[in-house]
A and B are shown apart, each in its own frame.
Chain A
Amino acid sequence: MRNKQTYENTITSKLEALPLPDMADAIWSRIEIQLDTDMPTDDSGGSTPSPVSPTGIGLIGGSALFILAAGIISFFYFSRTDGNAETNSIELRPAQVDSVTLGYGSENPPPRNTPNLIVPITPKELPKDSTITNDSSNIISTVTIPPPVDSSQQLKDASITLTPKKDTVPPGRRSRGVKGITDDDYKIVPSKKDST
Chain B
Amino acid sequence: MITVEHDIDLLLEGCLANNRRAQEELYRQFYGFAMTIALRYSRDEHDAADIMSHAFVKVFKSIRSYDSKKGSLHAWIKKIVMNEGLDHIKGRKRFSDNVDVETIAEPEVNNAALELMGSEEIMNIIKRLPPATHAVFILYAVEGYNHREISERLGISEGTSKWHLSEARKTLQQKLEHLKNRES
A residues neighboring B (CB under 8 Å)? 1-2, 4-8, 10-12, 14-21, 23-24, 26-28, 30-32, 34-35, 38-39, 41, 43-50, 53
Q: Does B76 contact A (CB under 8 A)?
A: no
CA distance A27 to B48 in the complex (A): 10
Within B95-126, the residues touching A (CB, 8 Å) are 109-111, 114-115, 117-120, 122-123, 126
Where chain B touches its partner, the secondary structure class is helix
Known: A31-B56, A34-B53, A41-B18. 14 other contacts (CB 8 A): A7-B111, A7-B141, A8-B141, A14-B117, A14-B123, A23-B48, A24-B31, A26-B49, A31-B27, A32-B20, A35-B23, A38-B61, A46-B21, A47-B14
Within B48-63, the residues touching A (CB, 8 Å) are 48-49, 52-53, 56-57, 60-61
Q: Does B12 contact A (CB under 8 A)?
A: no
| CB pair B114 A7 closer than 8 Å | yes
Partner of A2, one of B39, B120, B144: B144
CB distance from B83 to the nearest CB of A (A): 17
| CB pair A17 B119 closer than 8 Å | yes
CB distance from B167 to the nearest CB of A (A): 16
Partner of A1, one of B52, B56, B110, B145: B145
Closest chain A residue to B52, Cβ basis? A27
B residues neighboring A (CB under 8 Å)? 14, 17-21, 23-24, 27-28, 31-32, 35-36, 39-40, 45, 48-49, 52-53, 56-57, 60-61, 109-111, 114-115, 117-120, 122-123, 126, 140-142, 144-146, 149
Closest chain A residue to B17, Cβ basis? A49
Contacts of B111 in A (CB 8 A): 6-7, 10
CA distance A139 to B141 in the complex (A): 103
Residue contacts A-B, CB under 8 angstroms, 15 given: A1-B149, A2-B145, A2-B146, A8-B140, A8-B141, A11-B114, A15-B36, A18-B39, A28-B24, A32-B24, A35-B20, A38-B61, A39-B18, A48-B17, A49-B17
CA distance A41 to B21 in the complex (A): 11
Contacts of A20 in B (CB 8 A): 31-32, 35-36, 39
